[in-house]
Structure 1
Amino acid sequence: TVHRVEATGAAVRTVEHTARELDTAKSRIDRLDAPSGVSSWHVDPAAGTVVVNVVRGERADNDVCRFLSRARAAGPVTVRTVASAPSTFAAGTVGGDPYYTGNVRCSIGFSVHGGFITAGHCGQPGAGVRGWDGSYIGTFQGSSFPDNDYAWVSVGSGWWTVPVVLGWGTVSDQLVRGSGEAPVGASVCRSGSTTHWHCGRVLAKNETVNYSQGAVHQMTKTSVCAEPGDSGGSFISGDQAQGVTSGGWGNCSSGGETWFQPVNEILGRYGLTLHTA
């Protein structure tokens, strides 16, 4: 058969490993647990090998070395270097970013381990949540409104939690380092998906707010403006998380006042831990 092909004028090169052998080797490697320093692997039939891509700078990592040793035992392997590790095109749960529940748009408050906290009036337990890009984030696990105005959403599907609040270009994005409570008179800023970044002062604490749906207790009043869609977004003082946006009056053109539900009450209610930098 080789002679017949050569007779046509084509160059013939025999390979050491058949396609079946290479596919079998890759299947064996697929069953291994790969460390993060290993980016990917595939069969290169022209080269007669399984190419394993390793992140630059990770080649000497002990876990990578062990993986490569086991991979070579499975069949012919060639190691190549890539610039960085792969990631999905989902995103982190960043304070102030929008999310969607049905036809409702609200804003992420703060990342917690396992998800994020937000306003209770934005969704009921069991409601699905989509991110800014329309992809599925997770599900409301707990929600209370009225009486309270808080909720938390579990995160999955390639999304992850990030200890950051968006500055929307007005200021740099803010790292969250704790949840120390700011006193009355302190400066406080809010991040939300409608009006982005605005600041003011803490005016009062433990205020009962009487919405048309019913009273909400233990709220903090601020001189910061907000508008529809900002609900659930982050109130932060310095690098300390303060609470999630509930409601208010006025707008960011003429001014107004806004209340937030204190973050530490939400964490305590659901047994959550704030994701901090």
Structure 2
Amino acid sequence: DRFESFRLAAAGRDSAVFQRLIGAIGQATGLRFDPDEGELLLRIRPAAWQATGWEVLARLTPRPLSARAWRVCNLPGGLNATLAAAMVQAAGVRAGDRVCDAMCGSGTLLIERLLAGPAASALALDLNAKALACCRDNLQAAGLSDRVTLAQADACQLDLPEASFDLVLCNPPWGDAVGAHRHNQTLYPALLAELARITAPGGRLALLSHEIKLLQRLLDDTPHWRIQHSTRVFHGGHYPRFYLLERSPVLRRH
């Protein structure tokens, strides 16, 4: 893609100095200045590595890497597609996987998984009918409608057989944009137990949450899940933790 416009992100962007800089950039590049929607984003800030001077950071693509053509519907608390893609790669893309997105929302995790490679089956679940409709729209835009079954269901009480899935994806409520911290005290333990029931031994759970202390305490106490990997990430002003969990084939004894 070629840039057709540019914008600046800088403190004092409206000053005379920056106005002259904007004019010079426009003249040199032939790009139109669009202060709100400019495709070439130039961030100018004081240099972090020396006492004086400035540094310029440029986004190399007209749209953010998280932008997706398939995203025709969004919801509060929706997941950044770049982070979702990274979670999918960390969990592993295996053609034989039976995949479940247990709280699908707008479908970001499941869509990124299916775009990354084939799966034996794919199920999208959410208790919220509006979320399912949003997920359905995005699946259609991604050309994946015929590969996914959607169902309205409570992820803590699923009418599904044990060991039904090899990979479960989940972005549960963090208690800010969606849900409440006090409700998560009962939601999270019930969720982890039910997802353990429907995950085959040796299967994986890729989970993202900002309820780090609560989740770590639950994982320390449960015999059902083993932490394979965890890392803090940045998402929308927060620093949640990504967990890749493995379903324990044999219950641990304390």
- Regarding TM over 0.5, the answer is no
Which of the two has higher C-alpha Rg?
Answer: 1
Higher helix share: 2
Q: Structure 2 length as normaliser, TM-score?
A: 0.30
Higher strand share: 1
Q: Structure 1 length as normaliser, TM-score?
A: 0.28
